[in-house]
Amino acid sequence: MATIAAASVAGVLAVLYVIGVIVTAGDVPAGTSVAGVAIGGLSPADAASTLTTGLAPRLGKPVQVSAGNRSTQFVPASAGVRIDYAATVAQAGTQSATPWALLGSLFGSREFGVVSSGDEQAIARVVTGLRPAVEQALVEGDVRFDGLTPVPIQPQAGRQLDEAAAKNALVSAWAGRDRIELPIRTLQPKASPESVQRAIDQVAMPAVSAPATVQGDGRDTTLSPARIAAALTFRPGDDGTLVPTLAKDKLGSVIDKLAPTENPGQDARMDFSSGQPVVTPSSGGRRIDWDLTLARLLPALTGSGARTVPADYVAAPADVTTDSVKSLGIKEVVGEFATAGFAPDSGVNIRVVADKVNGAIVKPGETFSLNGYTGPRGEPQGYVEAGVIEEGVPAREVGGGISQFATTTYNAAYFAGMTDAGHKEHSFYISRYPAAREATVFQNPDGSSVIDLKFTNDFPTGVAIQTIWTPSSITVKLWGTRHVNVESTPGPKHDYVNPPTVTKPDSSCKPVQGKPGFTASDTRVIRDLSGKEISRRTRNVRYNPEPNVICSASG
């Protein structure tokens, strides 16, 4: 009898299973809901329609968003939030045909969130608006000095809003909650309060208790306690301790005093005094390894022995060696240019920069920078005040006239086939230079570069720069191995603009006859040695008109 009953039950279940498979094929599994909206048993199309009816109105309703003790309201629609109804339904899948899955869907339930997206900038504004009130900067344990007294900086944990997770929460969780709590990360300091006190007791206090000495070859330098305090810094170690360091950049004159004991060495250069390039051999030097020296000084500052250490000298080989220069293929002039017509004071500056650049070597793949190679061009380097053009009006400044050297160098590199790596023409046309084929340079008073002349040697052989100065002219030659021939084709001047008139009520004013502005062009054609054209590039340059300057009596 029991066997018959069991068979009957099995038969009923089998019938129900077949009916279930037939009825639910392709539908959303029973018991499925999205953000509280039931869609189980519906076809994908009907489920999407049901979700639209149930969820779309929520897009315009505010949701409370909080982070820590700060909260604000978030209206999904105002942040461009859109629901992807098809993707939202698809994530629930379709009814499985396996018996257990089918029975499970009949008696179980599944909840899903919406698949939506939003305007990234609008979402970010909501998150950013909460940051100031929520976030707290991490404070690492540290030690600073008040005079010679060490002052502890106690470590403090910080808080940071997890922006990526917060944005994701706003886009994905708005439909199913009345309040969204955004995730906050706790930032733990590495150093412990105990390590701060140990750094004071075992390092900071003994370090400034007396002067210390670094012994160089032939002369010594002394670090006063105040100088030690200024240079002693701490960083948190991975093991929770504070790691002391003496900062080289805070030692200033202490390091300068031992500079004469160093020998910077000399790079190999080209000597053109014989009329042909001859390699001036490189020579190695030596320098003080201050990182190693200061690392060895620290134990002396905190120990019970002598507070004196010898400077650690290491070899300082030349960056450009004799052998490397000899292998560069520097054997013939590949580009040259000359300009003339400078004033005596400008000539002084041109000679100083020419002497500096003469013999410079540009290896294959390297970029030559005029500002970078010369460094600051001020009075300490031998430059004098000379004429310049400021806004079309004559003026004077230290280093004036260097643009003539820049133009001459630019043209030599131009005809050598070098790649232009950055240059700028004068704002106003100067008649002794070829239009659209000239360059200016400019530095800040501290020597930092503003307008530079750069070219790159893209050939497999190197080039050397030769400069020839006379009281009335400057010539620049680039020596190397010829790979190309270069032609320059100037275009006609056009689009002339008449000069404006400027009145200056200055007793030192000098009247100036203005000149019209215009547009000019230059086309560089590069051919290989067989005459085949490699490239053709045209550069257009707009020159401003130089104003007429009228001087009026002041007062």
Domain 193-323, CATH class in plain words:
alpha beta
Count the alpha carbons within 13 Å of 219 in the hemisphere toward its beta carbon.
10
How far apart (Å, rounded) are the C-alpha atoms in residues 423 and 388?
18
Would you say 29 and 95 are in contact if contact means Cβ atoms under 8 Å apart?
Answer: yes
Instruction: Name the 3-class secondary structure at 27.
Output: coil
How far apart (Å, rounded) are the C-alpha atoms in residues 357 and 410?
13
State how beta strands 212-215 and 116-117 pair. unpaired
Residue 336 token pair:
């040259």
pLDDT along the chain (555 residues), means of 10: 53 48 64 88 89 87 83 84 88 62 56 86 83 86 95 93 84 80 88 94 96 95 95 92 93 90 87 86 92 94 92 91 89 96 90 94 95 89 78 68 94 98 94 95 87 97 95 96 97 95 80 92 97 97 92 70
Residue 88 token pair:
């939202």
- End-to-end CA, the chain: 130
State how beta strands 220-223 and 212-215 pair. antiparallel
Residue 244 identity = P
Residue 96 token pair:
């499985």
pLDDT of residue 541: 97
> Which residues does 466 contact at the CB level (< 8 Å), separation at least 6?
270, 272, 277, 358, 359, 476, 477, 478, 479
Domain boundaries, the chain: 2-65+76-120, 193-323, 328-486
Q: How many helices (H) and strands (E) does the chain have?
A: 15, 38
Q: Quick check: pTM over 0.85?
A: no
How far apart (Å, rounded) are the C-alpha atoms in residues 518 and 508?
30
Three-state helix/strand/coil letters over 162-194: CHHHHHHHHHHHCCCCCEEECCEEEECCCCCHH
Residue with tokens 């008449």: 498
Residue 290 token pair:
């201050």
pLDDT of residue 390: 62
Q: What are phi and psi of 122, to 5 degrees?
A: -65, -40
pLDDT of residue 6: 53
Q: What are phi and psi of 89, to 5 degrees?
A: -70, -40
pLDDT of residue 169: 82
40-57 b/e with 16+ CB inside 10 Å = b?
bbbebeebbebbeebbee
How far apart (Å, rounded) are the C-alpha atoms in residues 88 and 541?
58
pLDDT of residue 387: 66
C-alpha distance from residue 305 to each of 148, 212, 228, 301, 405 (Å): 21, 11, 17, 9, 58
Q: What are phi and psi of 202, to 5 degrees?
A: -100, -20
